[in-house]
Structure formats: structure tokens, C-alpha cells
């Protein structure tokens, strides 16, 4: 009688820890396309940095707080922004040209107040003229890695001049 009860408790505990393991394995940031809301096919790859892996698990960009606090470190993101010619449409300091400003309080999509939302538009493009930049989303290995996009977002956040709340710092 008692043995049966102990066995049941043991079984229940084993189930709980199994469920825990399963949910751990599923802990990932569910990225969606800005174009149509479908899942963006971006996974962790061997060459990903620890920062890229952290983002793909948690949706949090480790560079944002670091770069906002350290303008010197943020230059790594600015360099990428120039290298990939984002400057051609958004201007040298991302203040806008043919493409919109990325440093004011006006966002093309409200989700851009989060690093996840901004990542989705840069990585997968939009229907309003923003190209697709992530290698995996575009199916083109010549294009950008998760880490490069995160560094650019960190720099863009450090350039923000719009005032008001900065929700990207609250995560």
C-alpha cells in the first residue's frame, strides 16, 4: 500500500522533471516575419557568438545596454551599418534619407520598440521597401549573421534621439 504510493510519487516526480527538460529544450525566441507574420527560419548555427545564441534563446540583445553605455564599443555596430550600405537608404548616422530615420520616435511598425521586433524587420525585410538581410532568411550565405544584426541594433539604440521611454532598455 505504502510502496504503491511511493512509486506513484516517484513516477509523478519523474514526469515533472521530464516536462521541465522538454520545456527547456523549447526555450527559444520565436521570430516572425514583418511581411506576413510567418515564422522566420533563423536557428542557432555553430559559428554563432554567445551573444547571438543568447538572443535566439531569450529574444534579448546583449549588445543594447552595453553599447548605450559605451559609445566606443558601439562603433562595432556602426561599422557594420556602413559596411552593408544601410547608410545608402538610412543615412550615415541612421537619421534617414530615402529610407526612414531609425533614431527618432517614429517607428514604421510599433514592434520596433523591442529589439526582437527590429531584428525581425532587418533580418526578414518588410513589404515597404526594406530588403531581407539575414543569411538564413534570404537563403544566401553571403548575407548577414545574427550577431551582425544584433550589433547594428545595439548601435542604433545608442543613437536614439527621440526622447520619451526607451523600452529596449527595460528588458
| Sites of contact with ligand HEC (CB under 6 A) | 81, 84-86, 88-90, 99-100, 102, 107-108, 112, 118, 121-122, 126-131, 133, 152
Are 120 and 38 contacting, i.e. CB atoms less than 8 angstroms apart?
no
Q: Phi then psi for 6, rounded to 5 degrees?
A: -60, -45
Residue whose CB is less far from ligand HEC, 69 or 105: 105
Residue whose CB is less far from ligand HEC, 89 or 138: 89
Q: Is 144 helix (H, G, I), strand (E, B) or coil?
A: strand
Q: Which of 150, 162, 57 is nearest to 103 (CA)?
A: 162
How many CA atoms, within 13 angstroms, populate the side-chain half-sphere of residue 75? 3
CB of 130 to ligand HEC, least distance (A): 4
CB of 22 to ligand HEC, least distance (A): 35
CB of 17 to ligand HEC, least distance (A): 42
Amino acid at each position: 500500500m505504502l510502496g504503491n504510493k511511493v512509486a506513484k510519487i516517484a513516477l509523478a516526480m519523474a514526469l515533472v522533471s521530464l516536462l521541465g527538460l522538454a520545456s527547456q529544450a523549447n526555450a527559444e525566441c520565436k521570430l516572425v516575419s514583418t511581411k506576413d507574420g510567418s515564422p522566420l527560419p533563423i536557428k542557432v548555427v555553430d559559428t554563432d557568438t554567445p551573444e547571438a545564441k543568447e538572443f535566439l534563446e531569450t529574444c534579448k540583445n546583449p549588445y543594447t545596454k552595453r553599447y548605450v553605455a559605451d559609445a566606443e564599443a558601439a562603433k562595432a555596430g556602426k561599422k557594420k551599418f556602413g559596411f552593408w550600405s544601410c547608410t545608402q537608404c538610412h543615412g550615415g548616422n541612421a537619421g534617414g534619407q530615402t529610407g526612414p530615420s531609425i533614431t527618432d520616435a517614429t517607428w514604421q511598425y510599433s514592434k520596433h520598440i523591442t529589439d526582437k521586433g527590429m531584428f525581425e524587420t532587418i533580418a526578414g525585410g518588410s513589404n515597404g521597401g526594406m530588403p531581407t538581410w539575414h543569411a538564413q532568411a534570404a537563403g544566401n550565405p553571403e548575407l548577414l549573421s545574427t550577431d551582425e544584426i544584433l550589433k547594428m541594433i545595439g548601435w542604433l539604440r545608442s543613437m536614439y534621439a527621440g526622447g520619451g521611454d526607451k523600452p529596449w532598455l527595460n528588458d
